């Protein structure tokens, strides 16, 4: 650690480069806050070929921050965007003649973050197409180069994904999505600290990194749907909604803007012929169930490197390569509810309207505070006592009734499935899986007179199937996903 500023730092202080603000800019980024005393603001102008024509900075803070801002602006200007996104803390320190004195290292993080936020702002300004209702599905650039945008959450799976792709000879750009405002102090994938951590991880691997702000899209397509589903008496799966509308579209959007061909995530799945979705090597981590709604055009340009690996190997790869993410815990079920208490989360968003708890014959057994607290198959928290265990059979939001019954009443032998997405021909569907960790049961699938709606008859009964759940169909060898859809309400 240096005891005093290097001559290069002093030079930047005496002759600061690129100070100012670009009026007609392509992106603005600010980091720090006046409470801690240091604020850095970068403006960038991006020209043809994604070249950083101009980079300007302003810093309100200590000498180290000012010198770092000046050095970073000078380093970045004139580069192409991808190369600027790969500038590391060490690159910046090298430009400043070596390490900063103790207590000043934060300056490097501050200015890099402000520059990256300017890039983030630039992408955000331009993605009306991404926010459009149909989502963003490009045909793939097919430039012939091995190029890939790897979605990096800050966890071990996506870090190893990027590493494996780099080792396989791809030009990799890592990107992290801000999906929601993480609850303060949480280790969620979207907390500001996690974005910094993901960027740091990418940079340590020598990879450029971008952040995309997808809060609006995620709020609209995932969180609103999540809350709305409970209020409508149906059971949502936010990971499914995110894969249907957000993650892959965003990665493909960035890939298209960069002229990159492929997109990758750290999901445990394979891309089979067709293309179709195939089960991964590690059956204990199989994520094909939540990937069914991926548009086929996007699957065609997707790589899942972890499909060939077991989780234990993935951690070992991370460890061998000295990645700090090697020991990160498994991510929680729902990324925007780190506490896991989704009833509480929904309860804060939906105005509760009380109603009746009834038996199938209409007998009133009790009262409840709101239908959003119930889901089919639920046993706990009914507030009704009976000699034999009671379960929620049905939620009727229109009459605010929750219908309960015994376990046998949950027995289901047939369902209707809509909003389907098929990778292979429907006739190949031989098994269906109704829950993420459930097992697949043999079934027969037939089209109905309603377009896009299928009748699925189970060969053995399934208990507690809720409307809104995903029904995912597999081939007779159980290896490939034929397609999937959402379970419809009986009367719909």
Ligand X SMILES: Nc1ncnc2c1ncn2[C@@H]1O[C@H](COP(=O)(O)OP(=O)(O)OP(=O)(O)O)[C@@H](O)[C@H]1O
The interface with ligand X within residues 359-418 (CB under 6 A) comprises none
Sheet holding 355-359, edge to edge: 364-368, 355-359, 401-405, 391-396
Residue closer to ligand X by CB (options 265, 470) is 265
Q: Which of 251, 304, 303, 302 is nearest to 282 (CA)?
A: 304
Q: Was 464 annotated as part of a binding site?
A: no
Bond prior to 65 in cis (omega within 30° of 0): no
- Which of residues 85, 151, 172, 271 is near ligand X by CB under 6 A? 151
The active-site residue, picked from 175, 189, 335, 443, is 335
Q: How far is the CB of 346 from ligand X (least distance, A)?
A: 20
Q: Which of 115, 110, 328, 321 is nearest to 209 (CA)?
A: 115
Q: Was 156 annotated as part of a binding site?
A: yes
Residue 305 gets which letter from DSSP?
G
- Which of residues 9, 59, 149, 156 is near ligand X by CB under 6 A? 156
180 touching ligand X, by CB under 6 A: no
237 touching ligand X, by CB under 6 A: no
**242 labelled catalytic:** yes
The interface with ligand X within residues 327-356 (CB under 6 A) comprises 331, 335
Number of amino acids touching ligand X (CB under 6 A) = 18
Q: How far is the CB of 485 from ligand X (least distance, A)?
A: 21
CA distances (Å), origin 21, targets 42, 313, 466: 7, 48, 55
Residue closer to ligand X by CB (options 151, 390) is 151
- Which of residues 157, 200, 256, 394 is near ligand X by CB under 6 A? 157
Q: Show Cβ contacts of residue 391 under 8 Å, excluding neighbours closer than 6 positions.
A: 377, 378, 379, 404, 405, 406, 407, 409, 410, 464
Q: How far is the CB of 306 from ligand X (least distance, A)?
A: 8
Residue 235 gets which letter from DSSP?
-
469 touching ligand X, by CB under 6 A: no
Tokens 């995309």 -> residue: 212
Q: Was 452 annotated as part of a binding site?
A: no
Task: Tell me the backbone φ, ψ of residue 146, rounded to 5 degrees.
Answer: -85, 90
158 touching ligand X, by CB under 6 A: yes
Residue closer to ligand X by CB (options 72, 335) is 335
- Which of residues 152, 196, 207, 358 is near ligand X by CB under 6 A? 152
Q: How far is the CB of 444 from ligand X (least distance, A)?
A: 31
Q: Taking the CA atoms of the chain, what radius of gyration do you get in angstroms?
A: 26
- Which of residues 190, 255, 303, 482 is near ligand X by CB under 6 A? 190
Q: Is the dihedral of CA 195, 201, 204, 208 positive or negative?
A: negative
State the CB neighbour count (10 A cutoff) for residue 184. Answer: 6
155 touching ligand X, by CB under 6 A: yes
Residue closer to ligand X by CB (options 93, 294) is 294
Q: Was 48 annotated as part of a binding site?
A: no
136 touching ligand X, by CB under 6 A: no
Q: Which of 458, 436, 452, 438 is nearest to 485 (CA)?
A: 452
Q: How far is the CB of 193 from ligand X (least distance, A)?
A: 13
Axis-axis angle for helices 224-231, 238-245 (nearest 10): 140
**175 labelled catalytic:** no
- Which of residues 140, 266, 293, 338 is near ligand X by CB under 6 A? 266
Q: Show Cβ contacts of residue 360 under 8 Å, excluding neighbours closer than 6 positions.
A: 393, 403, 405, 409
* Contact status, residue 448 vs residue 416, Cβ threshold 8 Å: yes
Q: Was 135 annotated as part of a binding site?
A: no
Residue closer to ligand X by CB (options 149, 429) is 149
> What is the Cα–Cα distance from 357 to 132, expressed in whole angstroms?
41
267 touching ligand X, by CB under 6 A: yes
Q: Is 312 helix (H, G, I), strand (E, B) or coil?
A: helix
Q: Was 154 annotated as part of a binding site?
A: yes
Contact residues: ligand X, CB under 6 A: 151-153, 155-158, 176-177, 179, 189-190, 247, 265-267, 331, 335
Residues making up the annotated binding site for ATP are 151-158, 177, 266
Active site residues: 242, 335
């Amino acid at each position: 650690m240096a005891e005093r500023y290097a001559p290069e730092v002093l030079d930047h202080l005496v002759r600061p480069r690129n100070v100012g603000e670009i009026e007609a800019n392509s992106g603005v980024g600010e980091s720090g806050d006046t409470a801690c005393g240091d604020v850095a603001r970068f403006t960038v102008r991006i020209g043809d070929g994604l070249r950083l024509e101009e980079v300007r900075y302003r810093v309100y803070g200590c000498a180290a921050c000012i010198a770092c801002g000046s050095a970073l602006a000078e380093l970045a200007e004139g580069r192409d965007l991808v190369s600027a996104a790969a500038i590391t803390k060490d690159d910046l320190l090298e430009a400043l003649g070596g390490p900063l004195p103790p207590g000043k290292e934060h300056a490097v993080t501050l200015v890099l973050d402000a520059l990256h936020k300017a890039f983030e702002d630039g992408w955000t300004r331009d993605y009306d197409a991404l926010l459009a209702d149909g989502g963003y599905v490009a045909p793939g650039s097919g430039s012939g180069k091995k190029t890939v945008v790897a979605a990096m959450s800050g966890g071990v799976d996506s870090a190893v994904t990027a590493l494996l792709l780099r080792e396989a000879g791809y030009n990799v750009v890592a990107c992290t999505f801000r999906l929601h405002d993480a609850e303060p102090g949480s280790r969620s994938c979207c907390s500001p600290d996690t974005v910094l951590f993901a960027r740091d991880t990418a940079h340590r691997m020598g990879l450029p990194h971008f952040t995309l702000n997808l809060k609006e899209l995620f709020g609209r397509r995932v969180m609103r749907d999540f809350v709305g589903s409970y209020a409508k008496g149906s059971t949502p799966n936010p990971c499914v909604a995110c894969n249907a509308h957000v993650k892959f579209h965003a990665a493909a959007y960035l890939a298209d803007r960069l002229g990159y061909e492929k997109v990758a995530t750290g999901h445990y799945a394979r891309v089979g012929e067709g293309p179709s979705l195939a089960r991964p090597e590690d059956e204990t981590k199989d994520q094909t169930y939540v990937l069914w709604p991926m548009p086929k055009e996007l699957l065609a340009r997707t790589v899942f490197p972890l499909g060939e690996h077991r989780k234990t190997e993935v951690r070992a790869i991370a460890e061998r390569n000295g990645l700090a993410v090697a020991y990160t815990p498994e991510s929680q079920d729902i990324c925007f509810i780190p506490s896991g208490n989704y009833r509480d989360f929904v309860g804060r968003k939906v105005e509760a309207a009380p109603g009746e708890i009834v038996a199938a014959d209409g007998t009133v057994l009790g009262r409840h505070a709101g239908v959003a607290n119930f889901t089919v198959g639920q046993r706990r928290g009914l507030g009704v006592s009976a000699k034999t265990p009671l379960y929620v059979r049905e939620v009727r939001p229109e009459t605010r009734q929750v219908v309960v019954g015994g376990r046998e009443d949950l027995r289901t032998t047939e369902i209707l499935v809509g909003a389907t997405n098929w990778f292979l021909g429907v006739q190949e569907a031989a098994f269906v899986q109704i829950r993420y960790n459930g097992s697949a049961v043999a079934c027969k699938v037939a089209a109905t007179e309603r377009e896009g709606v299928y009748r699925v008859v189970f060969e053995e009964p399934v208990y507690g199937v809720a409307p809104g759940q995903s029904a995912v169909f597999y081939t007779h060898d159980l290896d490939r996903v034929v397609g999937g859809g959402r379970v419809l309400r009986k009367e719909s």
